[in-house]
Amino acid sequence: MMKIKARAKVNLFLEVARRRPDGYHNLATLFARVGLCDELEFKKTSVPGIELEVRGGPPGLAGGDNIVYKAAVEFFRVFGLAPAVKITLDKKVPVGAGLGGGSSDAAAALRGLAGLYGISGAAAKKRLVKIAAGLGSDVPFFMLDTALAAGKGRGEKLKTLSWTGRFPYIVLVYPGVPVYTKDVYARLKLGSQEAVRARLADLKKLLGLLKEGGFRGESAALLFNRLEEAVLPNYKEVKLAKERLFKFGADSALMSGSGSTVFALCRDRKKALGLAEAASSVSGYQVFLTKIC
Ligand code: C5P
Protein backbone atom coordinates (compact mmCIF):
# COMPACT_ATOMS: atom_id res chain seq x y z
CA MET A 1 0.00 0.00 0.00
CA MET A 2 1.16 3.48 -0.76
CA LYS A 3 -0.22 6.94 0.01
CA ILE A 4 0.68 10.13 -1.82
CA LYS A 5 -0.33 13.77 -1.50
CA ALA A 6 -1.11 15.59 -4.74
CA ARG A 7 -0.57 19.26 -4.01
CA ALA A 8 -2.19 22.01 -6.04
CA LYS A 9 -0.46 24.97 -7.71
CA VAL A 10 -1.04 28.57 -8.57
CA ASN A 11 0.55 30.53 -11.40
CA LEU A 12 2.23 33.62 -10.00
CA PHE A 13 2.84 34.77 -13.55
CA LEU A 14 1.39 33.66 -16.88
CA GLU A 15 2.00 35.34 -20.24
CA VAL A 16 0.96 33.79 -23.53
CA ALA A 17 3.68 34.31 -26.14
CA ARG A 18 2.06 32.80 -29.23
CA ARG A 19 -0.48 30.46 -30.72
CA ARG A 20 1.02 27.27 -32.13
CA PRO A 21 0.00 25.25 -35.18
CA ASP A 22 -0.88 22.30 -32.92
CA GLY A 23 -3.60 24.36 -31.18
CA TYR A 24 -1.60 24.91 -27.99
CA HIS A 25 0.01 28.15 -26.86
CA ASN A 26 3.55 28.90 -25.88
CA LEU A 27 3.63 30.26 -22.36
CA ALA A 28 5.98 31.90 -19.94
CA THR A 29 4.72 30.98 -16.52
CA LEU A 30 5.79 30.70 -12.91
CA PHE A 31 4.34 27.72 -11.07
CA ALA A 32 4.14 27.72 -7.29
CA ARG A 33 3.06 24.61 -5.41
CA VAL A 34 0.69 25.14 -2.47
CA GLY A 35 -0.24 23.12 0.59
CA LEU A 36 -3.83 22.35 -0.48
CA CYS A 37 -3.88 18.80 -1.82
CA ASP A 38 -5.78 15.72 -2.92
CA GLU A 39 -4.74 12.34 -1.53
CA LEU A 40 -4.20 9.12 -3.44
CA GLU A 41 -3.87 5.59 -2.15
CA PHE A 42 -2.55 2.66 -4.19
CA LYS A 43 -3.02 -1.02 -3.41
CA LYS A 44 -2.09 -4.10 -5.39
CA THR A 45 -5.06 -6.45 -5.69
CA SER A 46 -5.68 -10.00 -6.83
CA VAL A 47 -8.23 -8.77 -9.38
CA PRO A 48 -6.79 -7.92 -12.81
CA GLY A 49 -7.45 -4.37 -14.01
CA ILE A 50 -7.43 -0.83 -12.68
CA GLU A 51 -10.09 0.09 -10.13
CA LEU A 52 -10.51 3.78 -9.34
CA GLU A 53 -12.58 4.98 -6.41
CA VAL A 54 -13.15 8.72 -6.08
CA ARG A 55 -14.22 10.24 -2.77
CA GLY A 56 -15.48 13.81 -2.71
CA GLY A 57 -15.48 16.32 -5.54
CA PRO A 58 -18.28 16.91 -8.03
CA PRO A 59 -20.16 13.93 -9.51
CA GLY A 60 -18.78 12.36 -12.67
CA LEU A 61 -15.14 12.16 -11.60
CA ALA A 62 -15.02 8.36 -11.41
CA GLY A 63 -14.45 6.14 -14.41
CA GLY A 64 -12.25 5.93 -17.48
CA ASP A 65 -12.38 9.66 -18.24
CA ASN A 66 -10.57 10.51 -15.03
CA ILE A 67 -7.00 11.63 -15.71
CA VAL A 68 -5.81 9.33 -12.88
CA TYR A 69 -7.27 6.36 -14.71
CA LYS A 70 -5.66 7.50 -17.98
CA ALA A 71 -2.30 7.93 -16.22
CA ALA A 72 -2.57 4.40 -14.82
CA VAL A 73 -3.43 2.92 -18.24
CA GLU A 74 -0.38 4.63 -19.76
CA PHE A 75 1.85 3.53 -16.88
CA PHE A 76 1.01 -0.16 -17.29
CA ARG A 77 1.27 0.06 -21.09
CA VAL A 78 4.64 1.81 -21.18
CA PHE A 79 6.24 -0.44 -18.54
CA GLY A 80 4.65 -3.61 -19.93
CA LEU A 81 3.05 -4.61 -16.62
CA ALA A 82 -0.25 -6.39 -16.05
CA PRO A 83 -2.52 -4.10 -14.01
CA ALA A 84 -4.07 -5.37 -10.78
CA VAL A 85 -4.45 -2.27 -8.66
CA LYS A 86 -6.95 -0.25 -6.71
CA ILE A 87 -6.49 3.52 -6.62
CA THR A 88 -8.48 5.68 -4.22
CA LEU A 89 -8.57 9.39 -4.93
CA ASP A 90 -9.66 11.65 -2.11
CA LYS A 91 -10.61 14.89 -3.85
CA LYS A 92 -10.28 18.16 -1.98
CA VAL A 93 -8.93 20.55 -4.60
CA PRO A 94 -11.78 22.22 -6.51
CA VAL A 95 -12.22 21.18 -10.14
CA GLY A 96 -12.11 23.66 -13.05
CA ALA A 97 -10.32 25.96 -10.68
CA GLY A 98 -6.94 26.69 -12.32
CA LEU A 99 -5.24 24.95 -9.41
CA GLY A 100 -3.93 21.99 -11.40
CA GLY A 101 -5.80 19.47 -9.24
CA GLY A 102 -6.32 16.92 -12.01
CA SER A 103 -2.79 17.39 -13.33
CA SER A 104 -1.35 16.89 -9.87
CA ASP A 105 -3.48 13.76 -9.38
CA ALA A 106 -2.12 12.38 -12.66
CA ALA A 107 1.48 13.04 -11.64
CA ALA A 108 0.80 11.48 -8.22
CA ALA A 109 -0.66 8.41 -9.95
CA LEU A 110 2.51 7.99 -12.01
CA ARG A 111 4.77 8.49 -8.98
CA GLY A 112 2.62 6.25 -6.79
CA LEU A 113 2.45 3.40 -9.26
CA ALA A 114 6.19 3.66 -9.92
CA GLY A 115 6.73 3.32 -6.16
CA LEU A 116 4.28 0.44 -5.82
CA TYR A 117 5.90 -1.52 -8.65
CA GLY A 118 9.48 -0.68 -7.69
CA ILE A 119 10.17 1.29 -10.86
CA SER A 120 13.15 3.61 -10.40
CA GLY A 121 16.25 4.94 -12.11
CA ALA A 122 16.98 7.75 -14.54
CA ALA A 123 15.71 5.94 -17.66
CA ALA A 124 12.38 5.07 -16.01
CA LYS A 125 12.04 8.64 -14.74
CA LYS A 126 12.45 9.93 -18.30
CA ARG A 127 9.68 7.64 -19.49
CA LEU A 128 7.42 8.76 -16.64
CA VAL A 129 7.98 12.44 -17.50
CA LYS A 130 7.14 11.69 -21.13
CA ILE A 131 3.87 10.04 -20.08
CA ALA A 132 3.21 13.09 -17.88
CA ALA A 133 3.63 15.54 -20.78
CA GLY A 134 1.22 13.47 -22.88
CA LEU A 135 -1.44 13.64 -20.16
CA GLY A 136 -1.53 17.43 -19.86
CA SER A 137 0.53 20.60 -20.04
CA ASP A 138 0.72 21.08 -16.26
CA VAL A 139 1.44 17.45 -15.33
CA PRO A 140 5.27 17.63 -15.77
CA PHE A 141 5.50 20.41 -13.16
CA PHE A 142 4.02 18.05 -10.58
CA MET A 143 6.60 15.40 -11.44
CA LEU A 144 9.29 17.74 -10.08
CA ASP A 145 9.63 17.77 -6.35
CA THR A 146 9.83 21.54 -6.13
CA ALA A 147 7.78 24.43 -4.81
CA LEU A 148 8.69 26.80 -7.60
CA ALA A 149 9.47 26.38 -11.29
CA ALA A 150 9.45 28.49 -14.43
CA GLY A 151 7.62 26.90 -17.36
CA LYS A 152 7.94 27.49 -21.08
CA GLY A 153 6.54 25.81 -24.19
CA ARG A 154 3.10 24.40 -23.30
CA GLY A 155 4.27 24.65 -19.69
CA GLU A 156 6.22 21.41 -19.87
CA LYS A 157 9.69 22.90 -20.38
CA LEU A 158 10.64 23.52 -16.80
CA LYS A 159 13.35 25.11 -14.78
CA THR A 160 13.38 24.46 -11.05
CA LEU A 161 13.89 27.60 -8.97
CA SER A 162 15.26 27.80 -5.50
CA TRP A 163 14.81 30.57 -3.00
CA THR A 164 16.23 31.63 0.30
CA GLY A 165 13.59 33.97 1.72
CA ARG A 166 10.37 33.24 3.51
CA PHE A 167 7.38 32.52 1.33
CA PRO A 168 4.08 34.25 1.94
CA TYR A 169 0.78 32.82 3.02
CA ILE A 170 -1.72 32.38 0.26
CA VAL A 171 -5.49 32.70 0.43
CA LEU A 172 -7.25 30.78 -2.33
CA VAL A 173 -10.80 31.70 -3.24
CA TYR A 174 -12.80 29.36 -5.47
CA PRO A 175 -15.85 31.43 -6.41
CA GLY A 176 -18.12 28.42 -6.82
CA VAL A 177 -18.09 28.16 -10.61
CA PRO A 178 -15.69 26.16 -12.78
CA VAL A 179 -13.96 27.57 -15.87
CA TYR A 180 -12.92 25.37 -18.80
CA THR A 181 -9.35 25.89 -19.94
CA LYS A 182 -10.01 25.17 -23.60
CA ASP A 183 -12.68 27.91 -23.84
CA VAL A 184 -10.36 30.41 -22.21
CA TYR A 185 -7.53 29.87 -24.69
CA ALA A 186 -10.02 29.90 -27.59
CA ARG A 187 -11.35 33.27 -26.46
CA LEU A 188 -7.98 34.83 -25.69
CA LYS A 189 -6.67 37.75 -27.73
CA LEU A 190 -2.89 37.75 -27.57
CA GLY A 191 -1.05 40.82 -26.33
CA SER A 192 0.91 42.94 -28.83
CA GLN A 193 4.56 42.02 -29.32
CA GLU A 194 5.65 45.04 -27.27
CA ALA A 195 3.22 44.20 -24.49
CA VAL A 196 4.43 40.60 -24.37
CA ARG A 197 8.06 41.74 -24.38
CA ALA A 198 7.40 44.13 -21.50
CA ARG A 199 5.69 41.37 -19.50
CA LEU A 200 8.56 38.98 -20.11
CA ALA A 201 10.89 41.65 -18.73
CA ASP A 202 8.64 41.76 -15.64
CA LEU A 203 8.95 38.01 -15.26
CA LYS A 204 12.72 38.33 -15.38
CA LYS A 205 12.56 40.98 -12.66
CA LEU A 206 10.26 38.80 -10.58
CA LEU A 207 12.61 35.83 -10.89
CA GLY A 208 15.51 38.09 -9.90
CA LEU A 209 13.67 39.27 -6.77
CA LEU A 210 12.82 35.70 -5.81
CA LYS A 211 16.42 34.65 -6.17
CA GLU A 212 17.54 37.53 -3.98
CA GLY A 213 15.30 36.68 -1.07
CA GLY A 214 11.72 35.72 -1.77
CA PHE A 215 8.54 37.71 -2.12
CA ARG A 216 8.45 41.34 -1.17
CA GLY A 217 6.12 44.25 -1.84
CA GLU A 218 7.84 44.83 -5.18
CA SER A 219 7.11 41.26 -6.26
CA ALA A 220 3.37 41.80 -5.84
CA ALA A 221 3.31 44.45 -8.56
CA LEU A 222 4.90 42.04 -11.03
CA LEU A 223 2.34 39.28 -10.66
CA PHE A 224 0.40 38.92 -13.90
CA ASN A 225 -1.93 36.56 -15.72
CA ARG A 226 -2.80 37.25 -19.37
CA LEU A 227 -5.69 34.76 -19.18
CA GLU A 228 -7.58 37.13 -16.87
CA GLU A 229 -8.47 39.16 -19.98
CA ALA A 230 -10.34 36.17 -21.39
CA VAL A 231 -12.03 35.21 -18.11
CA LEU A 232 -12.90 38.27 -16.00
CA PRO A 233 -15.23 39.88 -18.58
CA ASN A 234 -17.06 36.58 -19.16
CA TYR A 235 -17.32 35.16 -15.64
CA LYS A 236 -18.64 37.83 -13.33
CA GLU A 237 -18.16 35.53 -10.30
CA VAL A 238 -14.40 35.45 -10.92
CA LYS A 239 -14.17 39.21 -11.44
CA LEU A 240 -16.19 39.81 -8.29
CA ALA A 241 -14.02 37.41 -6.24
CA LYS A 242 -10.91 39.32 -7.29
CA GLU A 243 -12.52 42.68 -6.49
CA ARG A 244 -13.65 41.36 -3.13
CA LEU A 245 -10.14 40.20 -2.20
CA PHE A 246 -8.89 43.76 -2.76
CA LYS A 247 -11.88 45.16 -0.86
CA PHE A 248 -11.09 42.86 2.07
CA GLY A 249 -7.58 44.37 2.15
CA ALA A 250 -5.37 42.18 -0.07
CA ASP A 251 -2.21 43.85 -1.44
CA SER A 252 -2.21 41.57 -4.45
CA ALA A 253 -4.87 39.39 -6.02
CA LEU A 254 -4.59 37.34 -9.17
CA MET A 255 -6.43 34.61 -11.00
CA SER A 256 -4.59 31.29 -11.13
CA GLY A 257 -4.10 29.55 -14.49
CA SER A 258 -7.27 29.71 -16.56
CA GLY A 259 -9.37 30.30 -13.41
CA SER A 260 -11.70 30.27 -11.68
CA THR A 261 -9.68 30.52 -8.45
CA VAL A 262 -8.27 33.87 -7.43
CA PHE A 263 -5.61 34.18 -4.77
CA ALA A 264 -3.96 36.72 -2.53
CA LEU A 265 -0.45 36.55 -1.14
CA CYS A 266 0.12 37.79 2.41
CA ARG A 267 3.39 38.02 4.28
CA ASP A 268 1.57 38.40 7.53
CA ARG A 269 -0.34 35.44 9.03
CA LYS A 270 -2.85 37.65 10.80
CA LYS A 271 -3.68 39.46 7.60
CA ALA A 272 -4.07 36.15 5.76
CA LEU A 273 -6.42 34.88 8.46
CA GLY A 274 -8.49 38.07 8.25
CA LEU A 275 -8.77 37.81 4.47
CA ALA A 276 -9.69 34.13 4.60
CA GLU A 277 -12.34 34.82 7.21
CA ALA A 278 -13.86 37.70 5.25
CA ALA A 279 -13.91 35.65 2.03
CA SER A 280 -15.45 32.65 3.84
CA SER A 281 -18.44 34.76 4.80
CA VAL A 282 -19.41 35.09 1.11
CA SER A 283 -21.98 32.42 0.31
CA GLY A 284 -20.81 29.88 -2.28
CA TYR A 285 -17.09 30.56 -1.90
CA GLN A 286 -14.61 27.84 -1.00
CA VAL A 287 -11.69 29.43 0.79
CA PHE A 288 -8.34 27.86 1.64
CA LEU A 289 -5.60 29.42 3.73
CA THR A 290 -2.32 27.74 2.90
CA LYS A 291 1.30 28.44 2.00
CA ILE A 292 3.54 28.03 -0.97
CA CYS A 293 5.51 24.94 -0.03
O1 C5P B 1 -2.70 20.31 -21.84
P2 C5P B 1 -4.06 20.41 -21.26
O3 C5P B 1 -4.92 19.21 -21.57
O4 C5P B 1 -4.08 20.75 -19.83
O5 C5P B 1 -4.74 21.64 -22.01
C6 C5P B 1 -6.13 21.86 -22.03
C7 C5P B 1 -6.45 22.84 -23.15
O8 C5P B 1 -5.90 24.12 -22.85
C9 C5P B 1 -5.83 22.46 -24.48
O10 C5P B 1 -6.70 21.65 -25.22
C11 C5P B 1 -5.64 23.81 -25.15
O12 C5P B 1 -6.85 24.23 -25.74
C13 C5P B 1 -5.36 24.74 -24.00
N14 C5P B 1 -3.92 24.99 -23.78
C15 C5P B 1 -3.24 25.77 -24.67
N16 C5P B 1 -1.90 26.04 -24.47
C17 C5P B 1 -1.27 25.55 -23.38
C18 C5P B 1 -1.96 24.76 -22.44
C19 C5P B 1 -3.30 24.50 -22.67
O20 C5P B 1 -3.80 26.23 -25.68
N21 C5P B 1 0.01 25.84 -23.19
155 lines ligand 1 (CB under 6 A): yes
Q: Name 210's Cβ contacts closer than 8 Å, sequence gap at least 6.
A: 148, 161, 163, 165, 219
> Looking at ligand 1, which residue's alpha carbon is closest to its atom 21?
154
| Cα atoms found within 13 Å of the Cα of residue 152, Cβ hemisphere only | 5
Rounded Cα gap, residues 172 and 99, in angstroms: 9
22 lines ligand 1 (CB under 6 A): no
Between the CA of 24 and the centroid of ligand 1 the distance, in Å, is: 6
Res 184: pLDDT: 98
Rounded Cα gap, residues 174 and 42, in angstroms: 29
Res 80: pLDDT: 98
Give, as one character, the DSSP assignment of residue 190. P
The one-digit pLDDT tens for each residue of the chain (293 residues) are 999 999 999 999 999 999 999 999 999 999 999 999 999 999 999 999 999 999 999 988 988 999 999 999 999 999 999 999 999 999 999 999 999 999 999 999 999 999 999 999 999 999 999 999 999 999 999 999 999 999 999 999 999 998 777 888 999 999 999 999 999 999 999 999 999 999 999 999 999 988 887 777 788 899 999 999 999 999 999 999 999 999 999 999 999 999 999 999 998 999 999 999 999 999 999 999 999 99
Rounded Cα gap, residues 202 and 205, in angstroms: 5
End-to-end CA distance of the chain: 26
140 lines ligand 1 (CB under 6 A): no
Between the CA of 115 and the centroid of ligand 1 the distance, in Å, is: 29
Beta-bridge mates of residue 289: 171
- Residue of 142, 197, 207 whose CA lies nearest to 15: 197
Res 217: pLDDT: 78
DSSP 22-78: TS-EEEEEEEEEEEEEEEEEEEE-SSSEEEEEEESSSTT-SSTTSHHHHHHHHHHHH
Residue 43's CB: how many other CB atoms inside 10 A? Answer: 14
Between the CA of 246 and the centroid of ligand 1 the distance, in Å, is: 29
Cβ-contact 85, 77 below 8 angstroms: no
Element (H, E) at 130: helix 122-135
Cβ-contact 231, 225 below 8 angstroms: no
Beta-bridge mates of residue 264: 171
> Looking at ligand 1, which residue's alpha carbon is closest to its atom 19?
24
Res 43: pLDDT: 98
Atom nearest to 139 CA in ligand 1: 4
Between the CA of 228 and the centroid of ligand 1 the distance, in Å, is: 16
Active centre residues (catalytic): 9, 138
